[in-house]
Chain A
Amino acid sequence: METVELLLSGFATALTIQNFFAAAFGAFLGILVGAMPGIGSLAGVALLLPLTFKFNPTTGIIMLSALYYSNMYGGSYSSILLNIPGDTPAVMTGLDGHPLASQGRPGVALFTSNISSFIGGTIGILILTIIGPGLARFGLHFGPVEMTALMAVAMTSLGWLLGDNPIRGMVATLIGILMATMGFDAVTGLPRFDFGSIYLLSGIPFIPLVVGIFGFSQVIEMMEKRNTARGFDIDKLTLKDSLLTKAETLRILPPALRSGFLGTLIGVLPGAGATTGSFLSYLMEKRLGKDGHKLGTGRVEGVAAAEAGNNAAAAGAFAPLLSLGIPGSGTGAVLLGGLLMYGLNPGPRLFQTQPEFTWGIIASLYVANIITLLVAIMIVPFLIKILKVPVKMMIPIITTICIMGSYSANNSLYGIIIMLIAGIFGFFMKKFGYPIAPLLLAYVLAPTMEKNFRQALQISDGSMMIFLQKPIAAVLVGFLLLTVLSPVIRWVIGSIKNQPN
């Protein structure tokens, strides 16, 4: 009952004219950027982060949340129409979406994607509403010891799981932590690792770093694909051709509902984001679906499963983000960085100290979900034109956004310099196969981790055994060890399997 009251008060916040339009604007921009091939949700949210400066924290974060959420819708469009996924979660959508489009039914594929995203997202937001406060109450039992272990789990789960080479994930994570140690020490307030530069006294600024490492690195990478021609099998899309028949609607409901629940569950887990959500939902549909064996040939069930899974995971990821302060993905880390930038500390106490803000965000997700669906349906006739924008035309435009956005962070050329260095570094990381998302996640979480780690050791007088003496921390440490050692375990199992006898 209390949750309902709080949610209603959240709607009162979300439905103020300013917040409503911020959510609508975020939904529109997010879907547009997500639909543009070659940008992706992470770079999209990073590039649009400076736009939230104008607003107060609640409105800014509502816009950012809508941006993040609607990006998931847009990512599937290029996957369906061009077989070029706008983002990794959309890879599974293309498996059935593109064959369906090639069979002359692109509108149906897009409509299925939109409706399933809406269903999956709604399930995710409903579950977030129910479990979010409970998770926060559980989080209140966390002291410095448990928080340190939790932060370590959050960092490693993403760093170790991404990419084929866990060592690269570790390097990325550790670099992110080191970058966060520059500037003022959060415990003593003394400057450190500034190397005599007044600019580095306040550390590496978040926005130029994010814009550079995701946005500008993408521009450099785009130079490889700037002449790629995009072939369209269709010239025109209309809303009329996109509508689903009654039979098709009934076919997509079970996979969308199933995947909605599974996706949310995956989204709540630290480190397992929308990509895992869509991947496992699709696999589940292949195994459990009535015509699972036909998936991959242009079935609406395949599109529904993948899209409901990834949107549900994106919504579910808000639960650990708001209640425990741990983002489930790189995009979530950008969002967390945005919250910190506004002086808000996501974590167990956020639900208690800032209920208006927290419930405002949750309520705004319901609003954004409806607005995004409407925008997504209305944008269908214009999609061909949006997707036809050549990559080579986007290069100078995105570069300009990167320069302007990073300058506007602190009205200084220093922001642009950081953006350029971060962009070049990010490009090299991508080329050498190092995942970037763990770096950002570690950069955002490191100050909290360091503060709690030092406090924990001060309590125990320097003994690391304290991490095994507290039950919650011990469980988390066990999980951490399992994650860290999983590549070794996999290697041992593989070696045993490969032995002749």
Chain B
Amino acid sequence: MKRLKTRTILPALTALIGLVWVIVGLTKYGWWVEGRPQSGFFPAIIGGLLLFVSILAVMSEMKENPPQFLITHLYPILAAVGMVLAALLIGFFPALILYVFGWLKWYEKYNLFTAGLTTGITTALMYGVFYVWLRVPFPTGILVELL
């Protein structure tokens, strides 16, 4: 049962996406009118094919062993989300410093010098490339705006 749950998740999801594309494509965007294929024509065909192939995939995946997932796989996702939320509050570059330094110092247990130096170089590079060179207008953060 555990196998069924893990390996078949992805093809089951793609089968569902295929089904949605067929239904929405045919009902909302149309198939063929006055000798012309409509906007739903191509997506509905591909959706139908995806539905069919995904069902085949679900059946073949049942025979395979499930891959191993680690709790640590979640950490970069949570850290990235945390950095983005912090960026909205205090601005992109302070959030970047907090994230890189925090990750290296407290999670990877690097010493203060290595974590600080890596953070400094990374921040300088990002600032130089994205802010100075590419002139990307990063949000300054709600707190800075309030001040």
Residues in A lying within 8 Å of B, measured CB to CB: 50-51, 53-54, 165, 167-168, 170-171, 174-175, 177-178, 181, 185, 187-188, 190, 192-193, 216, 219-224, 226, 392-393, 395-397, 399-404, 407-408, 411, 413, 416, 420, 423-424, 427-429, 431-434, 450, 453-454, 457-458, 461-462
Asked if B122 and A400 make an inter-chain contact with CB atoms under 8 angstroms apart, the answer reads yes
Q: Kindly name the residue among A400, A458, A461 whose own CB sees the greatest number of chain B CB atoms within 10 A.
A: A400
Measured in the bound complex, the distance between the Cα atoms of B48 and A80 in whole Å is 46
Asked if B69 and A181 make an inter-chain contact with CB atoms under 8 angstroms apart, the answer reads no
Asked if B37 and A193 make an inter-chain contact with CB atoms under 8 angstroms apart, the answer reads no
| B142 in the interface (beta carbon within 8 A) | no
Given contacts A50-B134, A181-B46, contact A420 B77 (CB under 8 A): yes
By a CB distance below 8 angstroms, the chain B residues around A457 are 37
By a CB distance below 8 angstroms, the chain A residues around B40 are 192
Measured in the bound complex, the distance between the Cα atoms of B123 and A401 in whole Å is 10
Closest 3 pairs between A and B when the two form their complex, measured CB to CB:
A174-B50, A396-B103, A408-B136
| B80 in the interface (beta carbon within 8 A) | yes
Contact of A432 (CB < 8 Å), options: B10, B29, B77, B108: B10
Contact of A396 (CB < 8 Å), options: B7, B73, B79: B79
Measured in the bound complex, the distance between the Cα atoms of B9 and A495 in whole Å is 31
Q: Which residue of B lies closest to A417 (CB)?
A: B84
Given contacts A193-B24, A403-B84, contact A223 B75 (CB under 8 A): yes
Asked if A393 and B73 make an inter-chain contact with CB atoms under 8 angstroms apart, the answer reads no
By a CB distance below 8 angstroms, the chain A residues around B10 are 171, 428-429, 432, 434
B30-74 at interface with A (beta carbon < 8 Å):
32, 35-43, 46-47, 49-50, 53-54, 56-57, 60-61, 67, 69-70, 72-73
B88-118 at interface with A (beta carbon < 8 Å):
88, 92, 96, 99-100, 103-104, 108, 110, 118
By a CB distance below 8 angstroms, the chain B residues around A461 are 35
Contact of B11 (CB < 8 Å), options: A171, A226, A399, A420: A171
By a CB distance below 8 angstroms, the chain A residues around B76 are 216, 219-220, 222-223, 395, 399
Q: Which residue of B lies closest to A393 (CB)?
A: B118
By a CB distance below 8 angstroms, the chain B residues around A413 are 84, 88
By a CB distance below 8 angstroms, the chain A residues around B104 are 393, 396
Measured in the bound complex, the distance between the Cα atoms of B139 and A183 in whole Å is 27
By a CB distance below 8 angstroms, the chain B residues around A427 are 73
By a CB distance below 8 angstroms, the chain B residues around A416 are 84
By a CB distance below 8 angstroms, the chain B residues around A216 are 76, 80
Distance in Å: Cβ of A199 to nearest Cβ of chain B: 16
By a CB distance below 8 angstroms, the chain B residues around A462 are 32, 35, 37
Distance in Å: Cβ of A450 to nearest Cβ of chain B: 5
By a CB distance below 8 angstroms, the chain B residues around A433 are 67
Measured in the bound complex, the distance between the Cα atoms of B75 and A216 in whole Å is 12
Asked if B39 and A54 make an inter-chain contact with CB atoms under 8 angstroms apart, the answer reads no
| B140 in the interface (beta carbon within 8 A) | no
Q: Which residue of B lies closest to A51 (CB)?
A: B129
Contact of B42 (CB < 8 Å), options: A393, A403, A453, A458: A453
DSSP class of B's interface residues: helix, strand, loop or mixed? helix
By a CB distance below 8 angstroms, the chain A residues around B84 are 403, 413, 416
Contact of B14 (CB < 8 Å), options: A175, A392, A407, A420: A175
Distance in Å: Cβ of A436 to nearest Cβ of chain B: 12
By a CB distance below 8 angstroms, the chain B residues around A174 are 14, 18, 46, 49-50, 53
Measured in the bound complex, the distance between the Cα atoms of B47 and A383 in whole Å is 48
Measured in the bound complex, the distance between the Cα atoms of B88 and A392 in whole Å is 26
By a CB distance below 8 angstroms, the chain A residues around B17 are 175, 178
Given contacts A216-B80, A420-B81, contact A408 B46 (CB under 8 A): no
By a CB distance below 8 angstroms, the chain B residues around A401 are 126
Measured in the bound complex, the distance between the Cα atoms of B38 and A222 in whole Å is 44
Measured in the bound complex, the distance between the Cα atoms of B67 and A220 in whole Å is 15
Asked if B134 and A407 make an inter-chain contact with CB atoms under 8 angstroms apart, the answer reads no
| B26 in the interface (beta carbon within 8 A) | no
Asked if B118 and A458 make an inter-chain contact with CB atoms under 8 angstroms apart, the answer reads no
Distance in Å: Cβ of A490 to nearest Cβ of chain B: 15
Measured in the bound complex, the distance between the Cα atoms of B47 and A185 in whole Å is 16
Q: Given contacts A399-B99, A404-B136, could you give 18 more A-B pairs where the C-beta distance is less than 8 Å?
A: A167-B53, A167-B56, A171-B50, A174-B14, A174-B18, A178-B46, A178-B50, A193-B21, A216-B76, A222-B76, A223-B72, A395-B76, A396-B103, A400-B126, A401-B126, A403-B84, A431-B69, A454-B36
Residue pairs across A and B with Cβ atoms less than 8 A apart, 29 shown, are A170-B53, A171-B50, A175-B14, A178-B18, A178-B46, A181-B21, A181-B46, A188-B38, A190-B29, A190-B39, A192-B29, A192-B39, A192-B43, A216-B80, A224-B70, A393-B104, A393-B110, A396-B122, A397-B118, A397-B122, A404-B96, A404-B126, A404-B130, A404-B136, A408-B130, A428-B9, A429-B10, A432-B10, A462-B32
Asked if B42 and A450 make an inter-chain contact with CB atoms under 8 angstroms apart, the answer reads yes
Asked if B39 and A411 make an inter-chain contact with CB atoms under 8 angstroms apart, the answer reads no
Q: Which residue of A lies closest to B24 (CB)?
A: A193
Asked if B42 and A454 make an inter-chain contact with CB atoms under 8 angstroms apart, the answer reads yes
Measured in the bound complex, the distance between the Cα atoms of B77 and A219 in whole Å is 9
By a CB distance below 8 angstroms, the chain B residues around A392 are 108
Measured in the bound complex, the distance between the Cα atoms of B134 and A50 in whole Å is 9
Measured in the bound complex, the distance between the Cα atoms of B137 and A399 in whole Å is 19
Asked if A420 and B80 make an inter-chain contact with CB atoms under 8 angstroms apart, the answer reads yes
